[in-house]
Amino acid sequence: MHRPSIALLLGRASTTVFQPLAIRNVSSTIARRAALSTAAKEAGKPAASPNQVSANNASETQTEKHDALTTPTAASTVPTMVRGDWVLFHPVYSSEELKSVEVLHQAPKNLADKVAAGLVKLARAGFDLVSGYKHKPLPPDYKQWPIQKLRDEGYILDDKAWLLRILFLESIAGVPGMVAATLRHLQSLRLMRRDSGWIHTCLEEAENERMHLMTFMTLRKPSLPFRALILGAQGVFYNLFFLSYIVSPKTCHRFVGYLEEEAVYTYTKCIKDLEDGLIPEWYADYGNSAHMKKQLIGDAKMIDVIYAVRSDETTHRFVNHSLANLNPSNDVNPFALREPDMHTKGKQIAFERDEAEAYVQESHKLLGKK
Ligand SMILES: [Fe+2]
Ligand SMILES: [Fe+2]
């Protein structure tokens, strides 16, 4: 396992598995800025911002071709340009947690849930059709089949088709969290009342999805038609989701929960294909350094990256289905202070409202409040 590398790639600087309450609650930015300030005083210079330090680190490792402020490519955050922890809170998983994810489904509770589930199924069917993806079950003797034959007959995707699918889905998945955070932020300003911790969790999800996209972007330069497709899809989806969230935030979180169910299913299928040796471009024991290099993102193995991303999607599944069980007008976000680990999120689809309440009470006890 290349755990620290995955952590870095996905914007995770911490390798701590359990984030104590204090770290979740108190921004690490404050501690980081204090450390930077002290270091600068010792050196007799004015304090640098975290970004300046990142740039300074980068300049040490940059080739002479680029200066420290200019990103050479859209995906240049991975190798050397950006250093330091400037991302929002994000769970970091142990090896056992990465493997404890199950494909689960939340049964619709009312008509709105049924509509949300139906829309996700429709979107998935449409995207499968456009991208030529078929849900053909593998033949029983597929291990005897040549990989090319399985691909030609539509049983499995090749590495390029997988990547295209992942990039498109991640570019869409980053939208809902930002829309929800924006609308709740505006509502808080408009009504002059506190938000009860929802904004932060929504922003964390949006950033986490964007990090997925940036990570996979290192494997591909997008073509113009692909960019146009994403532009069109984003334009339509952002506005539709924006209007829908104004009408029914609960249904929108349920919709995202169902979307994340599909993401967990897709990445689980990808992991199975990888471990079955059906995507040798990404995961095979060639024992040859040139081939091995192609299987890496940065210096992390593709299989480890996919496991980590699947765990993130499982977090989104759990959080959104749980938020859909709450009253978005008055209930506190139970995950504002901490989140359950993957042994819960991977095996339970969501917290019901009473479980969320018990979880918040437990958080208060941990904080030493009555
Ligand atoms: Fe994602
Ligand atoms: Fe997700």
| Domain residue extents for the chain | 95-368
Report pLDDT digits (tens) over 117-147.
Answer: 999 999 988 888 877 777 788 899 998 999 9
Ligand approaching nearest to the C-alpha of 262: 2
Per-residue pLDDT band for 104 (boundaries 50, 70, 90) equals very high
Ligand approaching nearest to the C-alpha of 309: 1
pLDDT of 126: 85
Give the 3-state secondary structure of residue 297: strand
Distance 351 CA to ligand 2 centre (A): 18
Distance 168 CA to ligand 2 centre (A): 13
Report pLDDT digits (tens) over 30-66.
Answer: 444 455 455 555 555 444 444 443 444 444 444 445 5
Q: What value does the mean pLDDT of the chain take?
A: 81
Q: Show the tokens assigned to 230.
A: 């994403």
User: When comparing pLDDT for 34 and 182, which is higher?
Assistant: 182
Distance 40 CA to ligand 1 centre (A): 37
DSSP track, 110-133: SHHHHHHHHHHHHHHHHHHHHHT-
* φ/ψ of residue 103, rounded to 5: -80, 115
Residues pairing with 297 in the sheet: 300
Q: Which residues surround ligand 2, an ion (CB under 5 A)?
A: 173, 260, 313, 316
Angle between helices 224-247 and 159-173 (to 10 degrees): 40
CATH code 3.20.20.30 for 95-368: no
Distance 337 CA to ligand 1 centre (A): 22
Distance 257 CA to ligand 1 centre (A): 12
Backbone angle region of 277, left / alpha / beta, with phi > 0 → left and psi within -120 to 50 → alpha: left
Q: Is the pLDDT of residue 180 over 50?
A: yes
User: When comparing pLDDT for 70 and 205, which is higher?
Assistant: 205
Q: Which residues touch 94 (CB under 8 Å, ≥6 apart)?
A: 17, 342
Model pTM greater than 0.95?
no
Distance 212 CA to ligand 1 centre (A): 5
Q: Is the pLDDT of residue 202 over 80?
A: yes
